[in-house]
A and B are shown apart, each in its own frame.
Chain A
């Protein structure tokens, strides 16, 4: 741990990201407040979620300035979760269909 080779960035950057996070949160709250439904609702919710998560990881957690080796070691493994989500989603569909077929809903 060498003394002071840490992450120092202009304060203005943090204030801009902070403001953006507020605006994006307000937008996602608006999606519910104005009762958007269906595909529009889900795509907006996911869009704002991804943008907020990206800003927090890249700027607040300084991932944008880390070495590529650390970025890959931390950000790539969670991608295997997509396999789990895919499997469980098909499993849930199967369970749902069995419940409708054999238990009448």
Chain B
């Protein structure tokens, strides 16, 4: 009891106290602070994406104009036939593959196999970059060929473009930032920067990457398949 009172009286207050408290590197929940903080960040991101998706639900169910059929809008013309959602399916498989390589990277990192971890993270980053590339192709096709704009489109409800560019754009930004984050950690792993501190950083970077895949699961189901 007295030690508690003592520690509060000696802890600095004001700005110094704020800096000390936030940089204390203290663990909550008996989980390392780094992992806890990544989870809390992901929780806040969950709310952002959920607000976007709820907004999408609201405009889609309140419009009296028919919603454009995603199955047709996102079809690809291959070998003389229109295959529905082909590009989106490929993008989904690329992202899941990258999630798998990331999970393996975390495993090899804890075995202190730096070289394998580096190549697996590099593969994850490249698959992520590939995803962003396909998304850029998809956006170009929609803007140039199909005339879809955030304020309207020839196929139906005007809100379609706003929702599409907002949600996939924000997700694509997450993938792009994730690629940069993964590459930075991958090169630091190869250089041996984490030999003393341990390799939990790879698991924490992995959490972010799996979250990006997780968000895509919801976008794929609720926007492209609905």
Q: Cβ of B225 and Cβ of A32 under 8 Å apart?
A: yes
**Interface 0/1 of A42-80, CB less than 8 Å to B:** 100110110011001101111000110110011001100
* Contact of B164 with A by CB under 8 A: no
The answer for the CA separation of A66 and B54 in the assembled complex, in Å, is 29
B198 touches A32 (CB 8 A): no
Closest to B46 in A: A78
Q: Which residues of A contact B39 (CB under 8 A)?
A: 70, 73-74
Q: Are A1 and B103 in contact, with the CB atoms below 8 A?
A: no
Contacts of B111 in A (CB 8 A): 8
Q: Which residues of A contact B51 (CB under 8 A)?
A: 84
**When the two chains form their complex, are residues A57 and B226 in contact, meaning their CB atoms are under 8 A apart?**
no
| Secondary structure type dominating chain A contacts | helix
Cβ–Cβ < 8 Å partners of B32 in chain A: 1-2
Closest chain-A Cβ to B190's Cβ sits at a distance in Å of 19
Instruction: Flag if B58 contacts A88 (CB, 8 Å).
Output: yes
Residues in B lying within 8 Å of A, measured CB to CB? 29-34, 36, 39-40, 42-43, 46-47, 50-51, 54-55, 57-59, 61-64, 71, 84-85, 89, 92-93, 96, 99-100, 102-104, 106-107, 109-112, 197-200, 203, 206-207, 210-211, 213-214, 217-218, 220-222, 224-226
